[in-house]
Amino acid sequence: MSVQELHGITLESLLTRLVEHYGWEQLAQRIDINCFTSDPSIKSSLKFLRKTPWARTRVEELYLATQFIN
């Protein structure tokens, strides 16, 4: 799956799924950004990720690399 294959998946659903899978602590270990380490929430993280292309790309790449068990 490539970043183009994320078409149709909202950033909110992608982030929510990562948080459910890893939890905030493990997510912060994988992607070291403040919005995951300091009082994390979906809302504040979305605000940051929408304004910060490099961070959004890292989140999308982690999503694509994660082996989710349905």
Domains of the chain by start residue, with CATH: 3-65 (1.10.720.30)
List, for residues 25-67, the tens digit of each pLDDT value. 999 999 999 999 999 999 999 999 999 999 999 999 999 999 8
Number of neighbouring beta carbons within 10 Å of residue 60: 19
- Say what the pLDDT of residue 6 is: 76
Which own/partner contact pairs does 55-60 have at CB distance under 8 Å and 24+ positions apart?
Answer: 55/31, 56/11, 57/3, 58/31, 58/33, 59/11, 59/14, 59/15, 59/18, 59/31, 60/3, 60/6, 60/14
Regarding pTM above 0.85, the answer is yes
- Say what the pLDDT of residue 70 is: 62
Residue 69, pLDDT > 80, answer: no
Residue 13, pLDDT > 70, answer: yes
